[in-house]
Homo-oligomer: A and B are copies of this chain.
């Protein structure tokens, strides 16, 4: 029997999804599982997007162009303009979700053995895609006690070596919900310019910023040749399953290189693009309602979370996640136990152990990532279950 690859062995399991079999087993027992582990919003997809499926009059569901439908890319320029971003349709390449956007960006910009700096805790799949591409990730640690603020510039400079090719930011941040300030981004800009690095900026949560400060995209930092924007419609329109994301960059060579990968995989999903295009136009009221809903959930959730004895969560200012510390030594063991052993009125809770979001295996052991993607009454109930679970777990 032939062996599997070394890189396959090195691929981490998803900290977000690896407990899924345990949750399925609980569900099959008839237990209600509150899923705070995954950024799968319960909000509806825009009706315009759903309606677009009903009116497709194509007889053959053919390939779209490798770079995405022209009409969709045109529509996106109007979307970006609303955020003060001047983007030409040719600067947009449509991908199979933000996931593919990340992988193709890594492949086009970095060689195996190159290094990329990101903050930890960080979105675990960046590391998965880095392993896929043979990239070494150097993590600069942000701390729960600082509300996961951007580490000082000196920490980034210390991490730079001759193999460093890129800094990756996720802003607003998944998993912490942190939104970088103008001053922080200016400091990043200085490093990027000084060392002529790529700046990969994942801004898929830009619609969900709960501060009054105007949002600053990396595309507006004045670093045209260095910045690659990673984007996706998944979260902003609650349509994660359609798999539509995009790479936006003014760097033509990067676009040309990404396009070679895009041609190899032929086409991004046609149906998803049709839904995404319809979701993008005339849905301002929808977006506002989603924003208000998430803001209300955040306000409720973080307050309630911090009322549980021994639990601490900073106040996230964007996205719909938080990383909280629990009064347990091993949060992964606790998360598993919740799914396998604990029921409160036949209910339990699913969270993502945060250790998988850190590079340093000693960090985040007592932390979990939670997504406030459920209705407030469900969030309330989920946190009641969590509180009871902690009581039982710690008195065993």
Contacts and interface: CB of A to CB of B under 8 A. Distances in A.
Interface string A1-44: 11011111101111011101000000000000000001011111
Contact of A269 (B1, B60, B96, B114): B96
A155 B34 CA distance: 58
A198 interface: yes
Interface string A97-110: 10110010001111
Question: SS class of chain A's interface: helix, strand, loop or mixed?
Answer: loop
Interface stretch (A48-56, A141-149, A176-184, A329-337): A48-56
Contacts of A58: 45, 50
A14 B263 contact: yes
Nearest to A124: B264
Given A1-B251, A134-B112, A225-B1, A63 B240 contact: yes
Interface string A54-98: 101011111111100000000000000000000000000000110
Copies of the protein in its oligomer: 2
Given A61-B238, A134-B134, A242-B269, A5 B257 contact: yes
A265 B97 contact: yes
A151 B128 CA distance: 39
Contacts of A110: 5
Interface residues of A, number: 84
**Which of A17, A253, A266 counts the most B-chain CB atoms under 10 A from its CB?**
A266
Contact of A60 (B132, B238, B260): B238
A196 B2 CA distance: 6
A267 interface: yes
Nearest to A6: B111
A258 B263 CA distance: 22
Interface in A136-167: 165-166
8 contacts: A1-B251, A14-B260, A44-B59, A45-B61, A60-B238, A132-B261, A240-B267, A243-B267
Interface of A: 1-2, 4-9, 11-14, 16-18, 20, 38, 40-45, 49-50, 53-54, 56, 58-66, 96-97, 99-100, 103, 107-112, 114, 125, 128-129, 132, 134, 165-166, 196-198, 225-226, 238-243, 251, 253-254, 257, 260-261, 263-272, 275
Given A14-B260, A62-B241, A125-B265, 14 more contacts: A1-B225, A5-B109, A8-B257, A8-B260, A18-B263, A45-B59, A45-B61, A61-B240, A62-B238, A62-B240, A63-B241, A129-B264, A242-B271, A243-B269
